[in-house]
């Protein structure tokens, strides 16, 4: 009788620690781009990885890679925070609380580009962050956004066109 070596599944997920280490900077960068606030991006990154750790047993590498799975969780975490923040802001406005201003988008952008990006909608900034800054392919970005690849491509095209128009208008 021979003992066979234990079989390993080719599609088994990487360890959570390996996935977290490999994609921490991408998740943080994505959340920084969405929030335009360093402290908030750090908080949301921590919350994202806490949720991902609790849900890791549900990760299925056949449905997508760890990066897109983590970015999907990051997006949901950010959207939940923005919704809660909007509700909090409306409650404070009812009692005349002062406005809270957000930090700049981040380092490395020219003031002109930062100003042009700030005029884009959240959806436009998000698709630019995923496709341009994080260099995700169209299918992966579409999965993170919960839209079709065609819709993702269209949204990116329109966002880049608006950004180009803003930059051209500013240079005149």
- Over residues 13-72, the pLDDT tens digits come to 678 999 999 999 999 999 999 999 999 999 999 999 999 999 998 888 888 899 999 999
State the Rg of the chain over Cα. 19
Residues 88 and 145 in one domain: no
Mean pLDDT of 111-119: 83
In terms of Cα–Cα distance, which of 56, 49, 42, 64 is closest to 141?
64
Residue 109: predicted pLDDT: 73
Q: 86 falls in which pLDDT band (50, 70, 90)? A: confident
Residues 94 and 20 in one domain: yes
- Domain span at residue 156? 109-172
What's the predicted TM-score (pTM) here? Answer: 0.58
The CATH number linked to 30 is: 1.10.1740.10
Residue 85 lies in a domain: yes
- Number of compact structural domains in the chain: 2
Given 73, 103, 133, the domain boundary residue is 103
Residues 72 and 139 in one domain: no
CA dist 7 to 10, 18, 69, 80, Å? 9, 21, 26, 41
Is pLDDT at 166 greater than 90 in this prediction? no
């Amino acid at each position: 009788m021979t003992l066979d070596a234990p079989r390993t599944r080719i599609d088994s997920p990487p360890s959570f620690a390996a996935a977290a280490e490999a994609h921490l900077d991408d998740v943080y960068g994505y959340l920084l781009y969405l929030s335009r606030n360093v402290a908030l991006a750090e908080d949301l990154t921590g919350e994202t990885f806490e949720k991902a750790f609790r849900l890791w047993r549900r990760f299925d590498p056949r449905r997508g890679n760890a990066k897109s799975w983590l970015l999907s969780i990051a997006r949901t975490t950010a959207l939940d925070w923005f919704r809660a923040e909007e509700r909090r802001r409306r409650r404070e406005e009812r009692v005349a609380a002062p406005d809270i201003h957000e930090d700049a988008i981040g380092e490395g952008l020219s003031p002109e580009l930062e100003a042009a990006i700030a005029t884009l909608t959240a959806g436009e900034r998000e698709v630019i962050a995923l496709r341009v800054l994080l260099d995700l392919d169209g299918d992966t970005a579409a999965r993170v956004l919960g839209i079709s690849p065609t819709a993702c491509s269209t949204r990116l095209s329109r966002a880049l066109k608006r950004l180009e128009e803003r930059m051209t208008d500013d240079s005149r």
